Amino acid sequence: TLASMRVPLWPCILIAATGILATDTPHPRDSALHHLTQHLLQQYHKEVRPVHNWADATTVYLDLFVQAVLDVDIQNQKLKTSVWYREVWDDEFLSWNSSMFDEIREISLPLSAIWAPDIIINEFVDIERSPDIPYVYVNSSGTIKNFKPIQVVSACSLQTYAFPFDIQNCSLTFNSILHTVEDVDLDFLGNREDIKYDKKAFLNDSEWELLSVSSTYSILQSNAGDFAQIQFNVVIRRCPLAYVVNLLIPSIFLMLVDLGSFYLPPNCRARIVFKTSVLVGYTVFRVNMSNEVPRSSGSASLIGVFFTVCMAFLVLSLSKSILLVRFLHDEWSSGQELLPLLCLQGDTDTGGSRMDLRAQQAGVTESPVCQEHQAQSGTLKEVWFQLRSINNYLQTQDQVDQRGVEWLALLYRFDQLLFRSYLVMLGLYSVTLCSLWALWSGL
pLDDT digit string (tens) for 126-166?
766 777 888 999 999 999 999 999 999 999 988 888 888 88
pLDDT band at 399 (very low <50, low <70, confident <90, very high): low
CB 157 within 8 A of CB 61: no
Cα angle 258, 263, 266; round to 5: 95
Q: Which residues contact 125 (CB under 8 A, 6 or more apart)?
A: 78, 153, 154, 155
Nearest to 310 by CA among 289, 288, 292, 286: 286
Which has more pLDDT, 193 or 392? 193
Global pTM reads 0.70
Burial of 307: CB neighbours in 10 Å, binned 0-12, 13-18, 19+: buried
CB 219 within 8 A of CB 228: yes
Nearest to 324 by CA among 406, 428, 220: 406
pLDDT digit string (tens) for 56-113?
999 999 999 999 998 888 888 899 999 999 999 999 999 999 888 888 999 999 999 9
CB 158 within 8 A of CB 238: no
* Distance separating alpha carbons of residues 155 and 150, to the nearest angstrom: 16
Average pLDDT score over residue span 326-343:
53
Stated as kind and residue range, the H or E segment containing 315 is helix 302-363
Cα 313 → chain centroid? 25
pLDDT band at 176 (very low <50, low <70, confident <90, very high): very high
